[in-house]
Amino acid sequence: MEVIFKRPEALTATPTHYCPGCSHGIIHRLVAETLDELGLRERAVGVAPVGCSVLAYNYFNCDFQEAAHGRAPAFATGIKRVRPDLIVFTYQGDGDLASIGMAEIVHAANRGEKFTTIFVNNAVYGMTGGQMAPTTLSEQVTTTCPMGRDTSDVGHPIRVAELLASLETPAYVARVSAHRPHDIVAARRAIRKAFQYQAEGLCFSLVEVLATCPTNWGKTSSDAVEWLEKNMIPYFPLGELKTPGDDSVAGLTEGL
């Protein structure tokens, strides 16, 4: 009998610890499929963040390092600088990348470090139990903004992809979503491009992936998909913001 669908080699057979309806499993699979398809698994080194996906290394079947909170881009810089032959990626959430690790990601992107960042944005701190993140939407309720995010007090949510696309150096910056099948197909394409560019020796690439967190949003899985569609996508529009050879700054080119 012909096998037409199976677990990618770059994933292990470990049962997941992620909550029902969480997007991490899908995004893990997209990265793993990419490593398989491009034949990169045996020279890949992933860097796990602090956050729900700190345990990503339990699921990926490749070498991994576990970073200090927010410092994954510095780890990846160290690895790639001493071993340019390796394929290096960081996998980071919004608290990790856009709050405590903002300096590290901006400078790694600006130096054009030759690794790939998968940035999972679910607009909330997951591991610590649903606190306000830099990407928490205006009026969104979290445990540390129980009356909803007050932008007059704590500012507006940060659009990371646009911010990084405003830099001259990065090769590839895109925002995709993992909430509906056709978005997942587009996300897969973007992640594949990012790794392809790295394998070709181009500099820094980042794919921001909008993700659901039903547990901390206090929603069912299907309501969470609705909520992402209605609230996150209008504020965090999808598309490629920077592609190799494109010198224009922070303008959406085309939807995937």
Would you count residue 62 as binding another protein (CB under 8 A)?
yes
Is residue 112 within 8 A of residue 203, CB to CB? The reply is yes
Position of tokens 């224009």? 248
DSSP-based three-state secondary structure for 201: coil
Tell the smallest beta-carbon distance from residue 148 to another protein (Å): 32
Distance CA 29, CA 75 (A): 23
Mark residues 77-106: x for contact with another protein by CB under 8 A, - for none: xxx-xxx--x----------------xx-x
Which among 251, 204, 241, 249 has a CA at the least distance from the CA of 105? Answer: 204
Cβ proximity to another protein, 119 vs 227, nearer residue? 119
Among 11, 32, 52, 74, binds another protein (CB under 8 A): 74
One of 24, 29, 71, 159 touching another protein (CB under 8 A): 71
In contact, 171 and 200? CB cutoff 8 Å: no
Q: Measuring CA to CA, how many Å separate 28 from each of 7, 63, 104, 195, 210?
A: 11, 15, 23, 14, 13
By CB under 8 A, is residue 41 in contact with another protein? yes
202-231 mask for another protein (x: CB under 8 A)? Answer: ------------------------------
Identify which of 180, 231, 204, 239 has the alpha carbon closest to the alpha carbon of residue 116: 204
Q: Which is nearer to another protein, 76 or 173 (CB)?
A: 76
Taking contact as CB under 8 A, which single stretch among the options 68-76, 168-176, 225-233, 242-250 is the one that binds another protein?
68-76
Residue 31 Cβ, how far from another protein at the closest point, in Å? 14
Using rule CB under 8 A, residue 7 touches another protein? no
Q: Tell which positions 163-202 bind another protein, by CB under 8 A.
A: none
CA 111: distance to chain centroid? 19
139 near another protein, rule: CB under 8 A? no
CA atoms within 13 A on the CB side of 190: 32
Find all residues with CB under 8 Å of 13, minimum gap 6, and list them: 7
* 52 part of the interface to another protein, by CB under 8 A: no
**Residue placing its CB nearer to another protein in the complex, 201 or 234:** 201
Rule CB under 8 A: which residues touch another protein?
A: 41-45, 47-48, 54, 57, 60-68, 71, 74-79, 81-83, 86, 103-104, 106-107
